[in-house]
Amino acid sequence: MTGLDPATREWLEAQGFAVGDETPWLEALTHGSFNGAGGGATDYQRLEFLGDRVLGLSVASWLYRAGDGPEGRLSQRLNALVSGATCARIARDIGLPAHIRLGKQARDDGGADSEKILGDVMEALIGACFIENGFDAAQSAVYRLWTRELEGDVGKAKHPKSALQEWAAGNRRQMPHYEVTDRSGPDHAARFTVRVSIRNVGEAEATASSKGEAEKLAAKAFLERFG
């Protein structure tokens, strides 16, 4: 396995990550397509699995200590703060796309700006930090990188799917029905179109890079049209 590019090492350290053994950091930044291109490195999936849990616990602890409302509101904010969309937004903010190791085809297909890949790699870096430096360091990294989101309004507004469900109940309508009507693009840059309908009311559609995000946007569009 080759070592970290010096510019990537410098970038990691500029984000506050203490890099000792380069192996977990290389793994965290390596997409599966890089192996297919002959890179011979392990991809980020195992570290992403770990980092997802470290991120969730770190954010849940912050919200609990912040006294941020009852359990339902805590869950709503937690889900928003650890979502793939939030992870990808932070990844873009810190310049992560330039440092992801992708195969040529995946890069040509826009993999470096894929919300799914960026979110996964962001979590993998948290996992690498945990492996290298322990939980306290990983938690500190999360709080540093997520400062704006934790102190802002992310997740405070009612989720559109919850709002639509409440609207349906309040108007004595059947519960919303979600259906994936189209899926296009390669796995690392997939696009999902979702239709939400309520019987005897109407329907709305939306397209996004994940099924969950498309459902959210469809619910929002439905409320704007019929609510």
pLDDT at 87: 95
Domain ranges for the chain, please list them.
6-151, 160-226
The pTM is what? 0.70
pLDDT at 36: 52
Q: What is the CATH number of domain 160-226?
A: 3.30.160.20
d(CA 170, CA 162): 12
**CB count in 10 Å sphere of residue 125:** 29
pLDDT at 188: 80
pLDDT at 37: 45
**List of long-range contacts for 92-99, beta carbons under 8 Å, 24+ apart:** 92/118, 94/15, 94/145, 95/11, 96/121, 96/122, 96/125, 98/11, 99/5, 99/7, 99/8, 99/11, 99/12, 99/29
Read off the DSSP letter of residue 172.
Answer: T
pLDDT at 157: 65
User: Which positions are annotated as active-site residues?
Assistant: 52, 123
- Do residues 116 and 209 touch, judged by C-beta distance below 8 A? yes
pLDDT at 35: 73
d(CA 117, CA 31): 8
Q: How many distinct helices (H) and strands (E) make up the chain?
A: 12, 3
pLDDT at 123: 98
d(CA 219, CA 122): 28
Read off the DSSP letter of residue 97.
Answer: G
Hey, which CATH number is domain 6-151, 3.40.50.1820, 1.10.150.530, 3.90.1150.10, 1.10.1520.10?
A: 1.10.1520.10
**CB count in 10 Å sphere of residue 105:** 13
**CB count in 10 Å sphere of residue 166:** 11
d(CA 140, CA 144): 6
d(CA 119, CA 135): 20
Per-residue pLDDT of the chain (227 residues; tens, 9 = 90+): 578 999 999 999 999 999 999 999 999 999 988 875 445 568 999 999 999 999 999 999 999 998 867 787 788 788 889 999 899 999 999 999 999 999 888 888 888 889 999 999 999 999 999 999 999 999 999 999 999 999 887 767 677 898 898 888 888 899 999 999 999 988 888 899 999 999 999 999 999 999 999 999 999 999 889 87
Q: Which residues pair with 180 in a beta bridge?
A: 194
Q: Name residue, tokens 């969309």.
A: 85
pLDDT at 92: 95
